[in-house]
Structure 1
């Protein structure tokens, strides 16, 4: 079987009314999640 890449977008309500919060994850053999720290985006 060919490898598969799965994108997971999860939307949830934030406690502050500043918009819709989302998490973005990618699964391809292992799970990686997009994160933001000090205005730098990275997959971990």
Structure 2
């Protein structure tokens, strides 16, 4: 059973968060950074 999210602001926040997370992962891989180096 699939439920549809009726809370548009929450849905937009989660979608935006996912895009940002993916972009950070790409930049880390491109610059050969681990999580520690990125965090610094």
TM-score computed with the length of structure 1 as normaliser: 0.21
How high is the TM-score relative to the length of structure 2?
0.21
Larger RCO (CA under 8 A, 6+ residues apart): 1
Higher Cα Rg: structure 1 or 2?
2
Q: Which has the higher strand share?
A: 1
